[in-house]
Homo-oligomer: A and B are copies of this chain.
Amino acid sequence: MMVTAHRDEKAKTGAAAPGPAASGSGRVPDVAIRRLPVYLRALTELYAEDHEIVSSADLAARTGYSSEQIRKDLAYFGAFGTRGVGYRTAVLIERLRSILGLDRQVPIALVGAGHLGTALARYNLTRHRDVRIVAIFDNDPARVGQSIEGVVIEPAERMDEVIRAAGIRLAVIAVPAHAAQDVARRLVEAGVEAILNFAPVTLQVPPGIVVQNIDLTLELQSLAYYTRERPATG
């Protein structure tokens, strides 16, 4: 992805495009926010391996980020560690979950139940996550009424109603390019504040709405750059 779209920013493109911080927001860089889930995953693994205490060096070894980076990222939110000792794994997991808003269930909507949308839904739903798909929409009458891992596919017309009723603020777009902009508009209209967009288009969204784009084609094209014959380097 190019990196990351952000509040008050025009849409960015690609998977995880890097992005500047929200204009009005606090002083935590977006790049740091994007690392927190990586730390969380590493911590969960370490905790499962009976590491009650972890150091920033332990996390560095697991995640590939430097220990200073990790300490600095965590310090944006407070001092969670003990000098000379490290971090209590369970405590840090809880803090990170709370910071990310994962301490309560985050309901999300998926729009588009084609091959990709279906694969994403299965993946998400079979791992019973804190961030979980609770509504799926498609405009194909043949698909409506079918279900994926127990979640029934609803007609696109019900998007606004269902999203409002469930208080959904985060949505995944997995529709064809030509339909994506309209879907985004309707999602925002219904109250969605953050969108994970798999459609190969640059979405135009109002300020304050966060868009993260993931586009297989763009990813492969930029990676292709690194596989070209390289001009002699030395």
Contact of A225 among B24, B62, B101, B200 (CB under 8 A): B101
Question: Which of A31-39, A50-58, A81-89, A151-159 is the contact stretch?
Answer: A31-39
Q: What's the Cα separation between A13 and B11 when bound, in Å? A: 22
The answer to whether A226 and B63 touch across the interface, beta carbons within 8 angstroms, is: no
| Protomer copies | 2
Whether a CB of chain B sits under 8 angstroms from the CB of A115 is yes
The answer to whether B14 and A124 touch across the interface, beta carbons within 8 angstroms, is: no
Whether a CB of chain B sits under 8 angstroms from the CB of A95 is no
| A16 touching B17 in the complex, CB below 8 Å, given contacts A101-B227, A196-B220, A217-B129 | yes
Q: Is the interface of A mostly helix, strand, loop or mixed?
A: mixed
Whether a CB of chain B sits under 8 angstroms from the CB of A73 is no
Which residues from 99 to 156 on chain A have a C-beta closer than 8 Å to any C-beta of chain B?
A: 99-102, 106, 108, 115-116, 118-120, 122-124, 127-131
Supplied contacts A1-B1, A10-B64, 15 more A-B pairs, CB within 8 Å:
A16-B219, A18-B18, A24-B233, A24-B234, A33-B226, A37-B218, A40-B221, A41-B218, A100-B221, A101-B227, A124-B220, A130-B224, A172-B220, A193-B227, A194-B226
